[in-house]
Each structure stands twice: as C-alpha cells, then as structure tokens.
Structure 1
Amino acid sequence: MFNSQKTAELCNKEKYILFIQWCKENGALISDEVQYPSAFGAQGYTGVSAKMNIPANKVIIAIPNKLIISHHKVLKSELSDMFKTHKQFFDDQITADAEFNCLALYIFYHKLQGDKSFWYPYLNVVEQHTMFEWRNRDLFNLQDQSLIDEFMYIQSEMDKSWYKFKGLMNKYPQYFGSLTEEQKDMFYWSNEFVMTRCFGWTLPSTSLVPMADMLNHSNTNPATYHLINRSIEQNGQPNNRYTLKRERIDLKLLELDFKVDPKYSIRNSQEAYIQTNKQLLVHEFEGQTSRDKINQINYNVLQLWKEKQAWELDFESSSQSEDNDTDSEDEDKVDKLSQIRKKELKILQEKNMKLDQQYTQKCQDIITSLIPKNAQYKQTQTNIQIKGKRTFEEDLEKDQDSSESSDDSEKDFDWYNDDDDQVYFCITTAGQIQQGEQIYTFYGRRNNRFLLLWYGFTMNNNKYNSFNLRLWLNPEPMAMNDQIYSKIIVTDIVNTSHLKLGQINGVPINQLSREIKLKGSKLQEDLIIYVRLFLMAYYIGQDANSILLTIPISIDFEIQVFDFTLKLLSYLAQRFKSPYQEDLNLNQNNLTCEEYFALNYRLGQKELILLQINHIMEALKLLRMLKQQPKLNIKEYFMQQSNSVEKIRALRYYIKYL
C-alpha cells in the first residue's frame, strides 16, 4: 500500500533529487505519470508508483544506451586489460560466472572512486536489503534451518570470492589502490548490487539499467521492457531482425506518435479466453480475478456438457506454471515419471488389470529404475556421519534472470550496437495501472526461497511459491510408528568431507534422496508416488502384486497411502516454532523489513503444507466413499459439494486415473 508520508520524506532526500537530475541530464525520459521515489507499506520500502491512471501498452520510462552498463561495454572499459589477462575469471567461454564477475568488479571499481565516478548518483541512491544484512535473530525468525544453512554456504562462498579477487585486484593498484579488509563490505555490496539488479533475458548481454531497476518484482500485472530503436521506429523500416513496436506500444515518451492497434489491448491469452467464452457464463464476474473467471467458466462447462471431465479443462492454478528455480533433477524426474506412466498404462491394457507374475516383474523393473540398488545405498548410509545440520545442494542454482520482454522472438540483436544513441531501454505497462498503485516489473517465476536468498525479499500470494521437501530413497525397513516420518525426511547435512560436488562418498545425493516441491492448488503427484513406493514394502493386501506407481489400482492401498501422507504433512506442519494462526495474527505494522519478510516466508511455507493437507483430506473422503460405493459417479460427487471448483481443480489429474 502506498505510504504518502514516507514518500514525502524520501522525495526531500538529496540523494534521490540528485539521482533523478543525473538521469535526465544524461538523456533518461521519465513520464510525468511516474512517481519515484515512492514508499510502500508500514516499513516504507522504496519503489515506483503511478501519479495518475496509466493505460496499458505505454512506455513510461526510457533509459538511453549511454546509461546502460552492459557486459559488452564493461569488457571495453578501463579494466579491459585485467579482463583479457585473467580469462579464467572473465571469459564466458571458460566460466559461467564471467558476466557476473566483470560487472561486480566494475561496480566495485567505481564504488571505490566515490563521488568522482560518473556513476556515483546511481550507486549512491541504491540501498541493499539482502540477507547479508540480516542479524542472527532475523535468520532464526525464518524457522527454516535448511534455508539458513544454504544462506551460510552462500556467505562462505562470498568470503572465498573476496580473498580470491582481492589478490587479483592488488596486482592492479592503478585501479584499486592497496586493498585491505576495510574494503570487504564494499566488495560484498558490489556483488549484491549486481546480484539483485541485473537484466539479462532478451538483451544482447547482462546489463544494469539505472532507474529501470528501481521497480520491484511482482507476478501480478508487471510492466515489461524492450530495447527500442527510435530511428527505426520513426522510419518504419526495420533493419535485420528488429521488430517494430509502434503498432503495439504507445511511444509518445520518445516523441513518436503512432496509432496503437486495438487488438493489442487484450493483454494475454487468459483474458482472450474469457472474451471468447462469455456465452458460457451464468454469473457476473465483477471484482473477480482472471483465475476466478476461468475456473468459473470451466465449472459451467462441466455443468452444461455432461460428457466433459475435469482433467480435460484448463483450470488456472496457482501452481499450474512451474517456477524456474528448477534444475536438471526436476526435469529428469518429470520425464521419467511420464515414461513410467506410459509403461504402466500399457501393462493395464495388455492384461486388463489381471497382473500375473510376468507383469509383476515388469512393474518391479520400473520401480528399480527410480531408486538406487540397496547394496550401494546401504554402503553409503553406513559411511555417512550425521552432523545435526540440514541438507542443501552444494552446487547452488545459478541466477538465470527471467524478466520477460513481450517479444520473445527478438533474441538476435544484429541491429544493435553499444554506441547507438537512438537505442533506449523502455519500461512499458502491460495492463492499466491505477493512481497510487505500485509499478512492478517481473524478475522471473521465482519462489519465495529464491527471492529471499538472492534478492532479500518475499512476496504475498506468490503463485510460484513452493515448499522444498527432500526425502530419502529406499530407506531401511523400520517400524511403522510416529518416528518413521523423521527418518524418511532428509533433515541432516552430512559431514562436509563426505559431501563434495553434490556427492556423498562418490554417490550423487540425487540418487540417495528425492526433492519434492509442494505447490499451491493441486495435489502433489510426485509425493503420492513416493509414498506408494515406500509403502509397497508394508502392504499385505490380496492385490499387493497389482500395485503400480503412477496409477491408483487398489482402493485399500490408496487409503493407506493418503493416510500416511496426511500424517507426514502434519508432522511437517508441527515442526515450526510458532503456530500458523499465531503468525497470521501478528501486527505487521510494528515489524522491521527483515521481520516482515521472515514472517511472510514462514507463513507461505505453512500455507503450502496446509493446502496439501486439505487436498489429501478431500482425496481420502473420496476414496472412502468409493470403498462404500464402487460405482460412485465422481464428477457428480464433486459437483454437489461446496467449493467444488477448488476441489476439482486440485484433484483433477488424480481422479482421471481412478
């Protein structure tokens, strides 16, 4: 929420006045509709807001090429001899960190110069609020030891980076002087600066863009950005692969007045879908979100067309779009599960649900493809020394900036050069923005864990949020009691002498455990598959030989699976230091920024677990009803209940195979 009092205080600060003046003196164009600095929330965090209503598809900020700090430009800067001499640090053909290293040292070099640097007004206005500034008490408030351990690992890597580059920079006293430990905090600051402010996706190279990087992140109605060549737009004759924007975007800020084609006023496929399906609506949609509208349309489709099933419809789900904080393990897992399901469906077709010993062996072959051999696992487990900390991956994910230009096809910049004074980096509204609203951009499909680790903040109602749960594969047989849940959850980090390059005693940690990401509004299928696999060794029903991994076969076994999963999730929910309702009732106005983001993070984690618990309980109700009434019409069962849209949406892929 816009904080007018703190906004007025910010606007009177000299550093903001000088920064805006510096931007404009160097050719930046900032619409009169835009207010910077603006303050938001009780904490008064800084961002950009709308002074008045702003229509969609309009350029509101245009930063000239001169003010863009790109990797390509930095390579040609006064530090070029250092970059060329030490290619092991600065050549992107040798190291994936080359662009980051170049930009971070360039910023550090100019930070050392103080107000003598051309970039001083820009560097001086930025305040860092990442986890590096958090106190131990703030970290404890996260109530997530695995996240704290991961941050401590990042911090230790930053320390290593300082000593590595300090030695290198001391070879160039003409640029950096004689560095001591006193400059360590400034080095940290420079790394954080690049880490939190870069644009990368759909640009010629990773870049820092003053003023454009003052917009905060949101998944809801974010502005987008484009590189726009004013001369080409004026002439209307694109060179090479440049895509004209003048029919899609209002370019008046660049003194270009062309009529925008009305067809671009429908800003995305969701709204287009709603427009196309208006005749299906039986309720007015005033005040509803796009997701609510689409879900309601699909509910009406199910009512009108009896032959339609829930899994055939595209419900808009908070977890429908995966976050892009994934690695090859996640992609391989999805692909492997898809292959297993195809094999299991083929098995069912071949034997019409009557699995003899030959087909049971096929199922076992499928299972062994998922897990390591027992002997290898047992040997590794024997050698592991548990140290009482929690597990994280040693090879942390690299930050791949995913801010999206609206023209994904324009990725070949053969029309661009670093010295072209006709090129502007333009922030463009995607949807209408109301007076007083914050103007956001989009950093990518990031969960709150990633946002906190790499940017220092979290988001309310983050549709890409997830709860990371790592479970041991193929654990030793154990008594089925309350202690079993702690024994299958990977809660301890092994001795660092055993954990090297993501391996434990030479065995990749991904072969010993499986990471499962609990998402918001759908039943987490891979968690159910894991529990099926785990409980196969305990199930003694008459249909035990018929059990499959990806397809529910036995109602009795499925009830056991969902009951076990419910208890596992309840165990996770009880591990937090403070109850969910207590956190929900806290007065957020009295919190510091660190306390607020820690609260927001742990609330999000608890909510994801509670949502999964709700989905599991609904599935259990259905399974018990099916046990009593084997011929139950599942679609009619849900349509007669309250909140049927939410329930169908969450379970639609599970009930497809029931």
Structure 2
Amino acid sequence: MYKRVPMAEVLPKSPEFEAYMKWALESGIKINKVIYPVRFPPGYIGTMATERINPGDIIVSVPNSSLFTTKIAEKSDLNELFQKYDDFFDEDDPHYEDLILATYLIWEKSLGERSKWYHFISHQPKSETLQDWSIEELQQLQDPDTVYDAKQQMGFTLKLWGGWKKVMLKSKIFSPAMIEFPEFLWAYRLLSTRSFGKFCPYTTFAPMAEFLNHNNTCTYYYYGTTEVSSESAKRYVNFSNGEDHDDDMVFKKPINKITCKKLIELACPGGIKQDSEMYKLVIESESLDNEERKNDEEKDYGKPDSEVLRETNEKELSIIAGNETYEEGSEVYMSYGRYSNRMLLATYGFSLKDNIYNFARIKTSLDRFIIGEKAYEIRSLDNNKVYLFKLKSDTLCKELFRVVRVLNWTNNFPVNACFSPASIDLEMKVIEIILGVVNEQIDEFPTRLEEDLKIVENQLTLRHYFAMVYRIEIKKILHKQVKYLLAARNIFEIIRDGRSIDHAFEVFFRGMKEEEKNEICEAMRTYFRTFRIYHENN
C-alpha cells in the first residue's frame, strides 16, 4: 500500500493547464481519483490520490479517437512527404515509427492553435537526461561507463537528426527553425519518455496519461475494452525475477558473452579426450549452453498477439491500478518498464531508491579471476576480452560463481564440482576471489558509502540528488554482496570442521537479528540448496 506523503504540496493550476484539462474532458478523456500538479519531496512534480485507489481501479482512460499515434501521422498532411522519401522513412527501419511521429509532432506544434492537438503538445516539456548534465554533474555519478554511454547516445541522436535534416531541407515543407536540433531533440525525447508502444497497436501518446511518475509498481497501461485482459493485469504483479529489460550500454571496449563450452576450453586448453571421465564436462557445458539459449528465446520482449492489439474505435488506453492500493494523499505511479537506475537516468533523468531491477556491474577480463601463472595463460588464450556480470541486491550472482569456479577447477577436484558447488575447498577459493574483486570495486570509488549517506541528507539540486541515489544504490549492492560472501565463507568453514549444513547455519545465525538473517538466507538459498544436494550424496 502506498501511504500519504506528509510534505506533498498541491500546486495551483495555470490557465494553460486548465485549458488542457477542459480539452481533455471534451475529448472523452476520464481522470479518476487523482490530482495534478503536486510537488513531492525532494522537489519533483507528480500526481496524488484524492481518495483511496483500490486494485483494478481505472485512474486515466483515453478513448481511441484521442490517441496521438503513428497511424494518424501516416494519414496526415505529411503522408506525401513520407511516401516521397520512403528511402529514409523506411518501414523496415527500427526507427521508422519514431521518425514518423517525431516529424508529425514538430509539424503539429508549428500549427499552434490551429492544431487539434494544440493543448496536448503545448504541455509537453523539454525532457532532460544525462546528455544534458554538465561534466561536474556527470562526475557525481562516479561511473565513467555510464558517462561514456550517455555521450555515445547523444552522438547517435545527432547522427539521426543529420539524416532527417537533409530530407526536410529537400522537402522544403518545414521552416528552418522547425528542423533545428533542439526541435528534433524535443520531439525525439518525448517518444522515449512519454509514449506508449509495446502493448499498443502503434507508438502512441495518450493525453493526460503522461503525468504519472515511474516506480516499480503494478499499476500498468492497457489498450482494449473495459474488460481488462487478465494477461495485462498480471504484467507487473510479481515483478518477474528482478531481471532488468535495459537497452544494451555502449562501452569503449565491446562486451563479450561467455559460454560454458568456452569456459571448458579455457580451463582445459589441451583438450579433453572423449574416452576420459572428464569428457562429462564437455557434455554438461553443451547442455548448459543449450538451456541458456532456450531461456533467452523464451524471454518475451515483444508485443502480444496482433489480434489482441487490433485497433477499434471501442477500445481505450487505460491506466489501471494493479494489485496495490493508494491511500488518499499518496503519490500515484505507473511502471515505465523493468529498468535499472542506469536506464532510468539515461532515458528519464532520475534514479530510484531500492530499485529491484538495479544492479552493480563487474566489468573485467577473465584473468582477474585466477591467481598465479594460469592468469597469463588465460589472458593470452582469451585475447584479454571483457565480460560483464550483474550483481543484484538480493542474491549471489550464479553466472559469476560459475565462471570463477570453472576457471579455478582442476582434476584434483571432483568432476561434478566444475559447474556446480560440490566441493567445499573449491567454493571457498571461489568466494575469496570474488570477495577480492568486489572489494576492489568498492575501493575504486572516490567516496565511501558512509560519506554519501551523509551528503544526501543535505539540500541538493535534483540532478545532484539523483546522482547521489545512483551511486549510493550501487555501493549498497556491492556491500550486500560482501556480506553474503562472508556469510557463505563462514558457513563453509563450520561445515569443513565436520558440522552438518543445518548446524552450520544455526551456529552462524545465532544471535543475529531476524531481518538480517532472513535477508542473508534468501540471498544464499539457491546456492546452498544446490550445494546440499551434492554434499549429502557424497
């Protein structure tokens, strides 16, 4: 349940906003149980519940006739332009819908009050992202990779604008002011920050539905009739497994994907004969890789069935409360997607506390996971490639453990200990290596977590505040990983002394507060469940 925000301040509505509201209501748009604009601490604007909102309540509904879509753009006065320059406005281009709708936005904006969409367009802000931050503000992130990515994204936008500008100059339809970069950037960013697309027939703007801020809530949007699709209602109910849906970052050096078969080739550079017992590792590596490929294929990042998204005049785009309740006076949110703080900052310009989709990056070559001369061998065999591991706040990183385990496995350990936690001695070595890597990452930050927590208590600009939240949340994840790793190491030490797994857990957690105990147990649950299977069968 979302609680009342004590310091929230309802702001006066400007005459322009009142006119927008009047236009929206006359256009059949319905707004229920909420008020906007409201200032919430530490200073951003959002939407507040005026009475209790229960699961299933419709907060905003926009009829099909009031949706601003690529279909409308295609059938507008600009249709001839799109047809004439179809080599640029190419339907097979992944940016096609964005380019069509951005062009139409700029066109309708130029019409002023003559445009049907005047009130909607005049209230669309100039969105700010990391690309607008100063060098000093970007440094507050303490994340050079994210800064580099932001610069690359701006470069891509400039390149896209350059191609678009050439077409618009040829067409002679737009005035010089309409094709300058600030206008294109305004329209292009609106598409990234305020449009709906994945669960709509077309890329879509829904007037009055754009005022809800993002949170990891179950409140969702739905295009359809008043009978809500059960599948849509479940979209964010369980938050899946906390896996993010971020776009790929751009790094200075490309990130590689490591397969289990490749790991075996690196761990056993001389090869493994088919008639040896160790050949089981080759078979297991291929099986694990096939399972990984299958899981990737089953991930649904696409749209629902086209029939579900078929456009009809009876349908509406609605914002609907999921399985949560909003008290009167609470801020009302919706989910923009399963995004980490890096993605939220890059796209929307803000970051969240306790974001379940957030992660800390370990970006490294594989030789860092090996001690001794073998590190040089791995570096040479793997050409010093770079790999990325995502550490979460609530679990040990299975992928990182597997890589470190395989690279440090030798035939002195059981064969089944190569891919799975089956050997206490090997697992303790793996934990020590990962502990070293995580602690190195923590030490690389210019400030400590304790310092940051004091800084964020001060009155900060919004950009500085979101930068602080960003780096604090990453450091929290790394510190939690250290806590989980130390706990696992201590439990293994007790087991190695001849105690049972259950007794080791009992000894380690004795006297610990229940909340901390539950957190650590949950983070290690899958890891020790697997270890128990092998340990009890030996």
Map of 1:518 onto structure 2: 391
Which SS does the other structure have where 1:604 is aligned?
A: helix
The code of the aligned residue for 1:47 comes to: G
**Are 1:60 and 1:429, in contact at CA under 8 Å, matched by a contact in 2?**
yes
Change (3 A) 1:533 1:165: same
**Are 1:200 and 1:401, in contact at CA under 8 Å, matched by a contact in 2?**
no
Paired with 1:207 and 1:401, the residues of 2 have a C-alpha distance of 21
Change (3 A) 1:512 1:70: same
Change (3 A) 1:135 1:13: farther
Cα displacement string for residues 352-374 of structure 1 (whole angstroms, at most 9, x for unaligned residues): xxx99912354368679999xxx
Which SS does the other structure have where 1:146 is aligned?
A: helix
1:591 and 2:460 aligned: yes
Paired with 1:187 and 1:474, the residues of 2 have a C-alpha distance of 45
Change (3 A) 1:71 1:338: farther
Map of 1:456 onto structure 2: 349
Map of 1:602 onto structure 2: 471
Which SS does the other structure have where 1:189 is aligned?
A: helix
Paired with 1:414 and 1:557, the residues of 2 have a C-alpha distance of 52
Change (3 A) 1:513 1:267: closer
**Are 1:166 and 1:179, in contact at CA under 8 Å, matched by a contact in 2?**
no
From 239, 257, 276, the counterpart of 1:358: 276
From 96, 99, 118, the counterpart of 1:98: 96
Distance apart, 1:115 and its partner CA? 4.5
Cα displacement string for residues 8-29 of structure 1 (whole angstroms, at most 9, x for unaligned residues): 2xx2433322322221232222
Which SS does the other structure have where 1:543 is aligned?
A: coil
Map of 2:536 onto structure 1: none
Which SS does the other structure have where 1:199 is aligned?
A: coil
The code of the aligned residue for 1:178 comes to: P
Paired with 1:66 and 1:190, the residues of 2 have a C-alpha distance of 21
Paired with 1:246 and 1:158, the residues of 2 have a C-alpha distance of 36
For residues 248-287 of structure 1, what are the structure 2 equivalents within 5 Å? none
The code of the aligned residue for 1:412 comes to: E
Change (3 A) 1:247 1:360: closer
Change (3 A) 1:599 1:46: same
Distance apart, 1:411 and its partner CA? 5.0
1:656 and 2:525 aligned: no
Which SS does the other structure have where 2:276 is aligned?
A: helix
Which SS does the other structure have where 2:345 is aligned?
A: helix
**Are 1:89 and 1:97, in contact at CA under 8 Å, matched by a contact in 2?**
no
Which SS does the other structure have where 2:307 is aligned?
A: coil
Map of 2:311 onto structure 1: 416
Map of 1:171 onto structure 2: 170
Map of 2:406 onto structure 1: 533
**Are 2:220 and 2:335, in contact at CA under 8 Å, matched by a contact in 1?**
yes
Map of 2:105 onto structure 1: 107
Distance apart, 1:464 and its partner CA? 1.0
Cα displacement string for residues 108-155 of structure 1 (whole angstroms, at most 9, x for unaligned residues): 223344454332322222331322322221111110000000110001
**Are 1:531 and 1:561, in contact at CA under 8 Å, matched by a contact in 2?**
yes
Distance apart, 1:426 and its partner CA? 1.8
Paired with 1:424 and 1:145, the residues of 2 have a C-alpha distance of 43
**Are 2:369 and 2:433, in contact at CA under 8 Å, matched by a contact in 1?**
no
Paired with 1:559 and 1:458, the residues of 2 have a C-alpha distance of 36
Paired with 2:203 and 2:137, the residues of 1 have a C-alpha distance of 32
Distance apart, 1:247 and its partner CA? 12
Distance apart, 1:85 and its partner CA? 2.8
Map of 1:284 onto structure 2: none
Q: Please report the RMSD computed on the Cα atoms of aligned residues, expressed in angstroms.
A: 4.1
Paired with 1:480 and 1:622, the residues of 2 have a C-alpha distance of 30
Map of 2:433 onto structure 1: 564
Map of 2:200 onto structure 1: 203
Paired with 1:531 and 1:37, the residues of 2 have a C-alpha distance of 51
Paired with 2:404 and 2:178, the residues of 1 have a C-alpha distance of 54
Distance apart, 1:67 and its partner CA? 2.1
Map of 1:30 onto structure 2: 31
Paired with 1:34 and 1:71, the residues of 2 have a C-alpha distance of 29
**Are 1:22 and 1:121, in contact at CA under 8 Å, matched by a contact in 2?**
yes
Unpaired runs of 5+ residues, structure 1, are: 234-243, 250-263, 271-317, 342-354, 372-399, 490-506
Which SS does the other structure have where 1:460 is aligned?
A: coil
Paired with 1:532 and 1:639, the residues of 2 have a C-alpha distance of 26
> Equivalent pairs: percent with the same residue?
25
Map of 2:16 onto structure 1: 15
1:117 and 2:120 aligned: no
The code of the aligned residue for 1:321 comes to: G
Which SS does the other structure have where 1:465 is aligned?
A: coil
The code of the aligned residue for 2:25 comes to: K
Paired with 1:64 and 1:657, the residues of 2 have a C-alpha distance of 52
Distance apart, 1:339 and its partner CA? 13
Map of 1:236 onto structure 2: none
Paired with 2:357 and 2:319, the residues of 1 have a C-alpha distance of 23
Map of 1:288 onto structure 2: none
Paired with 2:300 and 2:6, the residues of 1 have a C-alpha distance of 29
The code of the aligned residue for 1:121 comes to: H
Cα displacement string for residues 559-598 of structure 1 (whole angstroms, at most 9, x for unaligned residues): 1211111111000011112110111122445111111111
Paired with 1:247 and 1:159, the residues of 2 have a C-alpha distance of 41
Change (3 A) 1:593 1:113: farther
Distance apart, 1:469 and its partner CA? 2.2
Change (3 A) 1:581 1:102: same
Count of paired positions: 498
TM-score (structure 1 length as normaliser): 0.67
For residues 417-496 of structure 1, what are the structure 2 equivalents within 5 Å? 417=312, 420=313, 422-430=314-322, 431-473=324-366, 479=372
Map of 2:219 onto structure 1: 223
Map of 1:497 onto structure 2: none
Unpaired runs of 5+ residues, structure 2, are: 249-255, 265-272, 290-298, 532-538
Map of 1:325 onto structure 2: 246
Query: Which one is further off, 448-457 or 57-66?
Result: 57-66
Paired with 2:231 and 2:151, the residues of 1 have a C-alpha distance of 46
Paired with 1:568 and 1:205, the residues of 2 have a C-alpha distance of 45
The code of the aligned residue for 2:387 comes to: R
Paired with 1:508 and 1:158, the residues of 2 have a C-alpha distance of 34
From 471, 491, 510, the counterpart of 1:622: 491
Distance apart, 1:188 and its partner CA? 0.9
**Are 1:200 and 1:207, in contact at CA under 8 Å, matched by a contact in 2?**
yes
Paired with 1:427 and 1:589, the residues of 2 have a C-alpha distance of 35
**Are 1:89 and 1:101, in contact at CA under 8 Å, matched by a contact in 2?**
no
Runs of 4+ in 1 over 6 A off after TM superposition: 246-249, 266-270, 338-341, 364-371, 400-403, 475-478
Which SS does the other structure have where 1:212 is aligned?
A: coil
TM-score (structure 2 length as normaliser): 0.81
**Are 2:110 and 2:178, in contact at CA under 8 Å, matched by a contact in 1?**
no
Paired with 2:382 and 2:164, the residues of 1 have a C-alpha distance of 31
Change (3 A) 1:508 1:451: farther
